[in-house]
């Protein structure tokens, strides 16, 4: 159990708040478990369709209910580097299943888009909505009711949260997430960022920029900075959905393959046919969610998870709020320095001790609930390990002790943290509610008071920067970027120009109802501001020249305008017709019309 009473108190209030929805959810899970998976009672036509391409031995096995069948949900495509390794996983999983005395089938594929490709492009306006679409697509695959357990193959930004939402919707099934791992280290992330800023200033050309980017993103696996994709992997391990130590092993290595095969055998062990039946809906509870949030803060993880975690929790009947996330940030110290919070990448983080060392430190400090169920068994203590390739290609694990990490500049002890609080903070004020990632923002830049410069399109800010119109102190207000306006695209392309201005000595910040990438950091940015401008939120009342104050220390976001004047202003409007068509955006109109608010997960189905 957690030894820190503050963590226990926050967990207890989540439990209390969630009682009605959690109890109803668990009742649905229990009913689904009681019905079970009974392939033997399917009609002959149903079953014949379900195993038509299986071998005679597999057909014989699946004719009854004693041999478990593993459903594979895969996000494979070979354009997305993080998911390309999954091409060979289904056959590896099927072979491991046969060795374990079971059967495995690909139940379905889900879309997996790359935010790196669509950044600043029209396709980015589909990105956030793809999370809920992924959950729906996974549900289609599992709806055939042929499976005793499921494994999910996914890594990147919206993919893992969408798969987690699907997994909890099918909470009666035992579930394991199987990662593919990060690409090997290429050009340093700091050097990459410098080249981007030089390009923004016109000091290098497209050729030099492309050469730099290609050195950074050069092979299979996740991008090596600590953005949303790698935050996903951390979360899955912190929540007990990965096998211990599996998050950051490089693709196409013997250890990676051994961990994948081990996960398959474990999946069969936790089915109703095995000895340790562990349906995921009962396994993941409020303590698991809190452990995930703690990990997010201790590592300076992605701001996107202030929405994803809320949507994931709601899929399991758990009511997590921004206030819970912010209050946990005040308690949990920052223990990792991974770009953009430092110069190291995730491979350096793993070499320094990785997830096992991090979990050891969080357990020592009493910040984690140890008494949780995981896919590996009982308790987080089993995750405080170092994983290696053992004899005969098997997985070997050794318990991590209490000494310093292999690189204290990357991974530190709980009593010598890089900063005393976590990476994220909630902001509140007369502009609305928002969140800010502070782990990479220098303390002297966490309070900014400056006049507003208002934009309704991110390209307008780029144009103003190139025209030399922003060489001054200011807070950029980029609005009509929320879920209902245009799908809430990431505005990561604003980071280089704002970074240039900050480096020139100007006080700059960003306030937006849109998102920033999990890779963003050094420029203070109040994001996910809600209510959004399209909903008539106060952000739509801000005018050019209004003095704004962003105070990340005290958690406030204010327009320094007399209340009577500010409240009486008409809200601005914007012509959003240009966001309604092209690159599939017309197909997502129902999502824009029905999406929930950012602080409720920005979900179409759980909002």
Residue ranges for the known binding site for [4Fe-4S] cluster are 156, 223
Q: Measured in Å, how far apart are the chain's first and last C-alpha atoms?
A: 31
Closest CA to 515 of 543, 495, 537: 495
Q: Give the three-class secondary structure for 209.
A: helix
Q: Give the three-class secondary structure for 560.
A: coil
Distance of CA 268 to CAs 276, 378, 520, Å? 9, 17, 40
Name the token pair of 332. 């949990």
Name the token pair of 179. 């990662």
Name the token pair of 219. 């092979």
Q: Give the three-class secondary structure for 425.
A: strand
The bridge status of strand 525-530 relative to strand 432-437 is antiparallel
Closest CA to 180 of 263, 108, 107: 263
CB 130 within 8 A of CB 111: yes
Residue owning tokens 């597999």: 58
Known binding-site residues equal: 156, 223
The bridge status of strand 556-559 relative to strand 69-74 is unpaired
Closest CA to 434 of 471, 465, 475, 486: 475
Closest CA to 286 of 324, 252, 246, 231: 324
Residues 6+ away with beta carbon under 8 Å from 554: none
572-594: string of b/e by CB count within 10 Å (b at 16+)? bebeeeebeeeeebeebeebbee
User: CA 181 to CA 248: how far, in whole Å?
Assistant: 5
Closest CA to 67 of 274, 266, 276: 274
Give just the sign of the alpha carbon dihedral 59, 62, 66, 70: positive
Residues 6+ away with beta carbon under 8 Å from 393: 254, 257, 258
Please report which residue ranges of 429-546 form alpha helices under DSSP H: 458-466, 483-486, 495-503
Name the token pair of 605. 């189905």
Closest CA to 566 of 428, 426, 429, 427: 429
User: CA 113 to CA 333: how far, in whole Å?
Assistant: 33
Please report which residue ranges of 270-316 form alpha helices under DSSP H: 280-283, 286-299, 305-315
Residue 366 dihedral angles phi and psi, to the nearest 5°: 80, 20
Closest CA to 450 of 375, 494, 510, 381: 510
User: CA 112 to CA 599: how far, in whole Å?
Assistant: 24
- Residue 309's Cβ-side half-sphere holds a number of Cα atoms within 13 Å equal to 33
What H or E segment, with its residue span, contains residue 251?
none
Residues 6+ away with beta carbon under 8 Å from 424: 296, 297, 301, 303, 306, 325, 326, 329, 435, 436, 437, 438, 439
Residues 6+ away with beta carbon under 8 Å from 85: 180, 181, 220, 221, 251, 252, 256
């Amino acid at each position: 159990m957690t030894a820190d009473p503050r963590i226990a108190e926050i967990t207890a209030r989540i439990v209390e708040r969630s009682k009605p929805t959690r109890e109803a959810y668990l009742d649905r899970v229990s009913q689904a478990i009681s019905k079970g998976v009974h392939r033997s009672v399917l009609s002959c036509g149903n079953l014949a369709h379900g195993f038509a391409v299986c071998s005679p031995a597999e057909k014989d096995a699946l004719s009854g209910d004693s041999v478990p069948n593993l459903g594979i949900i895969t996000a494979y495509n070979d354009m997305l580097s993080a998911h390309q390794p999954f091409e060979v996983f289904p056959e590896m999983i099927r072979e491991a299943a046969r060795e374990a005395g079971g059967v495995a089938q690909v139940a379905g594929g889900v879309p997996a888009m790359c935010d790196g490709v669509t950044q600043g492009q029209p396709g980015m306006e589909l990105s956030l909505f793809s999370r809920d679409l992924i959950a729906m697509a996974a549900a289609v695959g599992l709806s055939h009711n042929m499976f005793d357990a499921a494994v999910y193959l996914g890594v990147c930004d919206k993919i893992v949260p969408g798969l987690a939402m699907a997994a909890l919707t099918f909470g009666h099934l035992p579930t394991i997430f199987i990662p593919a791992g990060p690409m090997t280290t290429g050009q340093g992330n700091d050097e990459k960022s410098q080249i981007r800023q030089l390009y923004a200033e016109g000091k290098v050309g497209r050729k030099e920029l492309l050469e730099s980017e290609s050195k950074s993103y050069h092979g299979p696996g996740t991008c090596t900075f600590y953005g949303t994709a790698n935050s996903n992997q951390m979360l899955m391990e912190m929540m007990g959905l990965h096998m211990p130590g599996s998050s950051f092993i490089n693709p196409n290595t013997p250890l990676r393959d051994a961990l994948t095969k081990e996960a398959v055998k474990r999946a069969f062990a936790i089915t109703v046919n095995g000895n340790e039946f562990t349906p995921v809906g009962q396994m993941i509870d409020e303590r698991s969610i809190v452990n995930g949030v703690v990990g997010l803060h201790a590592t300076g993880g992605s701001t996107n998870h202030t929405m994803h975690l809320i949507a994931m929790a709601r899929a399991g009947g758990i009511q997590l709020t921004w206030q819970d996330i912010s209050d946990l940030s005040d308690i949990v110290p920052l223990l990792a320095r991974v770009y953009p919070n430092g110069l190291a990448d995730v491979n350096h983080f793993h070499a320094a001790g990785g997830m096992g060392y991090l979990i050891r430190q969080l357990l020592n400090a009493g910040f984690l609930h140890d008494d949780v169920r995981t896919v590996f068994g009982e308790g987080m203590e089993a995750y405080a390990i170092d994983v290696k390739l053992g004899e005969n290609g098997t997985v070997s694990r050794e318990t991590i002790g209490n000494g310093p990490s292999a690189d204290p500049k990357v991974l530190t002890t709980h009593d010598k943290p890089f900063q005393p609080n976590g990476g994220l903070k909630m902001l509140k004020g007369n502009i609305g509610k928002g969140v800010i990632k502070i782990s990479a923002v220098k303390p002297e830049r966490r309070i900014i008071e400056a006049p507003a410069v208002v934009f309704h399109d991110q390209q307008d800010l780029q144009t103003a920067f190139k025209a030399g119109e922003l060489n001054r102190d200011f807070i950029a207000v980029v609005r009509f970027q929320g879920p209902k306006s245009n799908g809430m695209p990431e505005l990561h392309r604003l980071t280089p120009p704002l970074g240039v201005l900050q480096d020139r000595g100007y006080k700059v910040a960003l306030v937006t109802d849109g998102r920033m990438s999990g890779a963003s950091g050094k420029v203070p940015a109040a994001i996910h501001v809600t209510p959004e401008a399209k909903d008539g939120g106060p952000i739509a009342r801000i005018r050019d020249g209004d003095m704004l104050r962003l105070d990340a220390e005290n958690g406030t976001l204010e327009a320094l305008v007399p209340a009577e004047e500010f409240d009486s202003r008409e809200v601005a409007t914007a012509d959003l017709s240009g966001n309604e068509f092209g690159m599939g955006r017309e197909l997502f109109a129902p999502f824009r019309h029905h999406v929930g608010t950012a602080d409720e997960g920005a979900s179409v189905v759980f909002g």
